[in-house]
């Protein structure tokens, strides 16, 4: 994180904590945002500059992106963890939270995600600000997230109807994830093991000049090889597109490690322009 950025932009997913099938946008920008209490993380409001967020929405509309707007966005660990880990607090800097639908099929295509990121980058490039852009999401991972078309009615209802999960609901869901990780380590289902081969291939393309290659990625292939959670690399693609559009960028892989205990491949790429 550069010292004292003027502004932080976070492209992040959600895990049916703030966005539900009741009304699921492909993209949403918050003019105000508050974090959930999933994984017992710090909760509270983010410092969102309302007028700048609205200016971004209007600019995107001028570029033919009818992005959704939330004046009371709920964000979960997909956005709060990078803020807490990279800045030390939820509200240390002005933040523009941008939700990208990664969990709820049908999702926006990688081509559309990339173009959306470029439009955000064009907006940022028109402002004299020192901006940090974050794409927050896992690489290959296959957590036991319910799928709407495979869930019993009571579970499907929880995916559809907008509600704020209780702490007990958070704890129960998180316990299932922890148990799934333990099962994975001893060779049991239901989770697909993370794939270093898939991660490395993605990172190789990500560090290269031709991000248009991501346009050919299919959800079916991701589900089969990298797992349900790997759809979150959409946030990486959007963030990189925004950063590249805003200015020249030199990127490097700072860290990669396969972490079966967390059911995921973990990577950090840093770019400076």
DSSP 52: H
Instruction: Give, rounded to a whole angstrom, the gap between the first and last alpha carbons of the chain.
Output: 13
Residues involved in catalysis: 77, 141
Angle at CA of residue 32, ends 29 and 37, nearest 5°? 100
Cα-flanking dihedrals φ and ψ of residue 269, to 5°? -115, 135
The length of the chain in residues reads 273
Q: Which residues have C-beta within 8 Å of that of residue 34, sequence separation ≥ 6? A: 43, 44, 45, 46, 72, 73, 74, 75
Give the residue from 196, 191, 158 showing the smallest Cα distance to 177.
Answer: 191
Q: Which residues have C-beta within 8 Å of that of residue 199, sequence separation ≥ 6? A: 139, 140, 226, 256, 258, 265, 267
- CA dist 63 and 43 (Å) reads 34
Strands 68-70 and 27-30: parallel
Give the residue from 269, 158, 180, 186 showing the smallest Cα distance to 227.
Answer: 180
- CA dist 165 and 38 (Å) reads 9
Give the residue from 145, 140, 137, 230 showing the smallest Cα distance to 194.
Answer: 140
- CA dist 81 and 264 (Å) reads 16
């Amino acid at each position: 994180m550069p010292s004292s950025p003027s502004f932080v932009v976070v492209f992040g997913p959600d895990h049916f904590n703030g966005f539900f099938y009741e009304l699921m946008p492909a993209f949403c920008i918050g003019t105000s945002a508050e974090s959930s209490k999933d994984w017992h993380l710090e909760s509270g409001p983010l410092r969102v500059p309302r007028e700048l967020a609205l200016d971004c929405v209007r600019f995107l509309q001028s570029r033919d992106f009818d992005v959704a707007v939330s004046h009371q966005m709920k964000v979960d660990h997909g956005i709060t963890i990078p803020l807490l880990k990279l800045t030390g607090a939820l509200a240390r800097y002005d933040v523009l939270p941008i939700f990208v639908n990664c969990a709820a099929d049908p999702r926006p295509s990688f081509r559309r995600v990339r173009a959306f990121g470029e439009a955000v980058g064009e907006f940022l490039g028109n402002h004299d600000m020192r901006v940090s852009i974050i794409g927050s999401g896992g690489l290959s991972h296959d957590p036991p997230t319910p799928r709407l078309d495979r869930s019993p009615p009571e579970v499907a209802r929880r995916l559809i109807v907008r509600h704020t999960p209780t702490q007990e609901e958070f704890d129960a869901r998180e316990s299932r994830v922890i148990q799934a990780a333990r099962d994975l380590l001893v060779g049991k289902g239901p989770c697909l093991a993370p794939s270093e081969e898939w991660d490395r291939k993605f990172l190789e393309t990500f560090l290269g000049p031709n991000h248009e290659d991501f346009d050919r990625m299919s959800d079916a292939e991701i589900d089969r090889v990298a797992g349900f959670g790997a759809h979150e690399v959409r946030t990486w693609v959007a963030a990189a597109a925004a950063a590249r559009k805003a200015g020249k960028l030199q990127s490097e892989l700072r860290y990669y490690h396969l972490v079966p205990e967390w059911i995921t491949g973990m990577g950090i790429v840093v770019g400076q322009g």
